Structure 1
Amino acid sequence: MEQLQQRLVRMRKELAQAKALIRALETDVSEVEAALAEAANERPAHDHDRARSPTSPTAASPQASGGVTGAVARGEKLLKGWVQDGTLIPTAALGSSWGITRQALDQAVERGELFSLKIAGRRYYLAELRDITREQAAQVCCALGMLSPSEKLMFWLHAHGGLQGRTPVVAIQAGQLARTVQLAQAWARERTHPDADSGNDART
């Protein structure tokens, strides 16, 4: 049962990352969810009350596993493309721009004041963060709370109606830091508690 719980946690994380990344490509991930739901229906009856996640030790069908794996693979391909086109930059580049060390960046990530994405064993950061201060980035990242790095990346890359069609970095440069922080909080609430009423901020 412990192995089951660990597998469920991994599957949930993979699915969350896949959703966030595939949203950027406007790709429908319903096939992945359907595959996981099908696997859940094959779960032994005695596991029903103790494990309510859409998989089981024996029910990880090729379709379900392949769906999640395929979605994650597409997301990784997208991230590698962003490294190549300069959307994401290595640690040294951001550290040099902000005048801080690699260790300081790592510590900021641990405190939730920054986020990074690990690609092919290396950490990368959003290049646009060089255009604002470390303190400004920290306020927004803290407002995004416990969202995954990929979900935080989507927030930063998205042009929000609540920011007059601007991305967060452009809005901050225009003097809208407080509004961007407020929007980040709404964005995080909507994704952490999708049934809660978080207003229209996170959807605009």
Structure 2
Amino acid sequence: MANSDMRHLSSQAHQRIEQLEHTVSELKGTLGLLVSEMRRQGIVLPVGKVQRRQGRSASPRPAANDAPATATGLAAAVARGEAAKVEWVQSGEVVPAKLLADHWGLTPQALGPAADRGEVFAILVKRQRYYPREFLDLDRHAVGAVAQALSGLSPTEKLVFWKRPHGGLGGKTVLQALTATNDAAQLARVVQLARSWAEEAHPKRDGVEVA
């Protein structure tokens, strides 16, 4: 829809569109991170379309983590995204709130207000908050500076930024870059990269930045 057409929509319609954009962005981030992890582990992705049932021929039984056979489109993507989040918990890619809070000398309840201020972000898995395991190896100041630079992105998009290697950091992840050179200049480079990442993911429209 053109920007000129969107100006005539009601505020409720605008909010609904923003919610849908947020959902799609989070799903893209989830699936992108899942694909990257599969490639890192040497798992070959299947190519081609899923065959439909013909007549009474039986289709292969889906794996335990696959979306239900009846789920298609957005529903299937959501199911795959939730399965990916469970895998992150099981593999330790994200850690419970209590573990991070204990490491930083806080209570788990104190992480909530910190998230509201944009100093951290959490991934919700079965109504429980989990945080990137990278946070355990950094102080709150460094984590907060990078997290606030990613303002406007979904939690999954932020997680992708933290997990993937970046050419702007010499092929290192955020954690590798910050632990290799623990100084203000390196943190400033990471923060600037995070801002650029967020702006590229959600460019400004009509002079107003998308939330």
TM-score by length of 1: 0.71
Q: Does residue 151 of the first structure (1) align with residue 189 of the second (2)?
A: no
1:14 and 1:72 in contact (8 A); partners too: no
Partner-residue secondary structure (3-state), 1:106: helix
Q: Which amino acid aligns with 2:169?
A: L
Cα distance in 2 for residues equivalent to 1:151 and 1:2: 26
What is the 5 A alignment of 1:26-65?
26=35
1:14 and 1:68 in contact (8 A); partners too: no
Q: Does residue 120 of the first structure (1) align with residue 129 of the second (2)?
A: no
Q: Percent identity?
A: 41
TM-score by length of 2: 0.69
Partner-residue secondary structure (3-state), 2:190: helix
Deviations 1:37-94 (A, max 9, x none): xxxxxxxxxxxxxxxxxxxxxxxxxxxx931121121111111101001111110000
Cα distance in 1 for residues equivalent to 2:201 and 2:30: 14
Q: Which amino acid aligns with 1:155?
A: F
1:89 is matched with which residue? 95
What's the Cα RMSD here?
A: 2.4
Q: Which amino acid aligns with 1:78?
A: A
Partner-residue secondary structure (3-state), 1:170: helix
Cα distance in 2 for residues equivalent to 1:193 and 1:2: 20
2:170 is matched with which residue? 164
More helix by share: 1
Partner-residue secondary structure (3-state), 1:25: helix
Cα distance in 2 for residues equivalent to 1:88 and 1:122: 11
2:48 is matched with which residue? none
1:109 is matched with which residue? 115
2:6 is matched with which residue? none
Which runs of 5 or more residues in structure 2 are unaligned?
1-9, 37-70, 206-211
Deviations 1:128-186 (A, max 9, x none): 11101011000000111111101000000011111111110111112221111111011
Cα distance in 1 for residues equivalent to 2:202 and 2:18: 16
Match for residue 193 of structure 2 among 172, 183, 197: 183
Moved more, 8-17 or 139-148: 8-17
With over 3 angstroms needed to count, the CA separation of the structure-2 counterparts of 1:134 and 1:186, relative to structure 1, is same
Cα distance in 2 for residues equivalent to 1:138 and 1:128: 13
Which runs of 5 or more residues in structure 1 are unaligned?
28-64, 196-204
Q: Does residue 15 of the first structure (1) align with residue 21 of the second (2)?
A: no
With over 3 angstroms needed to count, the CA separation of the structure-2 counterparts of 1:3 and 1:192, relative to structure 1, is closer
With over 3 angstroms needed to count, the CA separation of the structure-2 counterparts of 1:9 and 1:189, relative to structure 1, is closer
Partner-residue secondary structure (3-state), 1:70: helix
Deviations 1:9-51 (A, max 9, x none): 4432221111111112349xxxxxxxxxxxxxxxxxxxxxxxx
Q: CA deviation at 1:5?
A: 6.0
Partner-residue secondary structure (3-state), 2:72: helix
Q: Which amino acid aligns with 2:28?
A: K
